[in-house]
Structure 1
Amino acid sequence: MTIPDPDPRRTPGIEPGGGVSPGETPPAEGGTHGISHPEPPELRKGWGPMPLALIMVVVALVAIGLIAMAVALIA
């Protein structure tokens, strides 16, 4: 079980008076700023004609199959 408020006299890395010695904690933020590598070029926003045609063909085949199944069940 972890004690929520440990005794500072027994906590490693704490100097007398409650301070922390240098190098005991990581820096709050990096010393450099900005991006580290160039961003990729912006991708196209729309669908091309080939993927849309392929999707429509698949949808049409599924619809034909469902209609054929319904007709087979009724007959």
Structure 2
Amino acid sequence: MTAKPPDPEPEKTHREPGGGVSPGETPPDSAQTSGLSHPQPMPSKAMPVAWLILIGVLVVLASGFVVALALGWLKLG
């Protein structure tokens, strides 16, 4: 482990009699990264639906083209 923990080691803190620390010796609280700072917006559902519809239309068109070629309805070349 190369990174040092954010909290000081208890052996290196200067304690007064009774276990307390002198004013100014108290380190700041550790940073907390477990939560979000604000609620995340919900993603739109319109774009995935539009993409599915577009892909469906392209599949139907490609299938129709292949069927038309197989039946000889299209004279290419």
Query: TM-score band (shorter)?
Result: 0.3 to 0.5
Highest RCO, 1 vs 2 (Cα 8 Å, sep ≥ 6): 2
TM-score normalised per structure 2: 0.37
User: What TM-score, normalized to structure 1?
Assistant: 0.37
